[in-house]
Amino acid sequence: MKKFPKAKIFGITPFNRMVHSYSLLIFFFTMLMLNYSPSFSYASRIKDLVHIQGVRENQLVGYGLVVGLKGTGDKGGTTFTITSLSNMLKKLGISVKPDDMKVKNVAAAIVTATLPPFARKGNQIDVIVSSLGDATNLQGGTLLLTPLKGADNQVYAVAQGPVSIGGFSAGGDGRGGIQKNHATVGRVPQGALIEKEIPFCLDATKPLILSMEKADFVTAARIAQKINNTFNIKIAQAKDPRNILLTIPEQYQTNMVELIAKIHEIEVTPDSRARIIINERTGTVVVGEKVRISSIAISHGNLSIEIKETMQISQPPPFSSGETTIVSNTETIVNEEPGKLIPIPGNITIGELVKALNAIGVTSRDLIAILQSIRAAGALHAELKII
Residues 282-292: pLDDT tens digits? 878 888 777 87
User: Where residue 4 falls among pLDDT bands split at 50, 70, 90?
Assistant: very low
The residue-averaged pLDDT of 361-384 equals 79
Please list the alpha-helical segments (H only) found in 146-242. 217-231
pLDDT at 58 over 60: yes
**Long-range own/partner contacts, residues 94-98 (CB < 8 A, 24 or more apart):** none
pLDDT of residue 326: 75
pLDDT of residue 13: 45
pLDDT (tens digit, 9 = 90+) per residue, 211-250?
A: 999 999 999 999 999 999 999 999 999 999 999 999 999 8
Instruction: Compare 7 and 269 and report the one with higher pLDDT.
Output: 269
Among residues of the chain, what percentage have pLDDT more than 70? 73
pLDDT of residue 277: 85
Half-sphere exposure of 4 (CA within 13 A, CB side): 3
pTM: 0.66
User: Where residue 339 falls among pLDDT bands split at 50, 70, 90?
Assistant: low
Least confident window among 79-83, 119-123, 130-134, 368-372: 368-372
Instruction: Tell me phi and psi for residue 248, to 5 degrees.
Output: -80, 120
pLDDT of residue 243: 95
pLDDT at 25 over 60: no
pLDDT of residue 170: 64
Per-domain boundaries in the chain? 46-54+208-268, 58-169+179-194, 275-315+324-386
The residue-averaged pLDDT of 301-325 equals 67
Distance, in Å, from the CA atom of 93 to the CA atom of 79, rounded to the nearest integer, reads: 21
Residues near 276 by beta carbon (within 8 Å), at least 6 away in sequence? 285, 286, 287, 288, 291, 350, 371, 380, 382, 383, 384, 385
The residue-averaged pLDDT of 75-88 equals 84
Instruction: Compare 75 and 235 and report the one with higher pLDDT.
Output: 235
- Element (H or E) spanning 292, and its range? strand 292-293
For 313, other C-beta atoms within 10 Å of its C-beta total 8
Mean pLDDT score of the chain: 79
The residue-averaged pLDDT of 202-218 equals 88
Distance, in Å, from the CA atom of 241 to the CA atom of 214, rounded to the nearest integer, reads: 9
Residues near 182 by beta carbon (within 8 Å), at least 6 away in sequence? 165, 167
Least confident window among 35-39, 295-299, 306-310, 354-358: 35-39
Distance, in Å, from the CA atom of 172 to the CA atom of 179, rounded to the nearest integer, reads: 12
The residue-averaged pLDDT of 61-74 equals 92
pLDDT (tens digit, 9 = 90+) per residue, 351-371?
A: 676 676 666 667 777 778 878
pLDDT at 91 over 90: no
pLDDT of residue 166: 77
pLDDT at 169 over 70: no
pLDDT at 264 over 70: yes
Radius of gyration of the chain (CA): 35
Instruction: Tell me phi and psi for residue 386, to 5 degrees.
Output: -105, 125
State how far Cα 123 lies from the chain centre: 31
> Which range scores top for mean pLDDT: 87-96, 258-267, 281-290?
258-267
Please list the alpha-helical segments (H only) found in 92-207. none
Instruction: Compare 176 and 142 and report the one with higher pLDDT.
Output: 142
Instruction: Tell me phi and psi for residue 28, to 5 degrees.
Output: -65, -50
Q: Which amino acid is at 196?
A: K
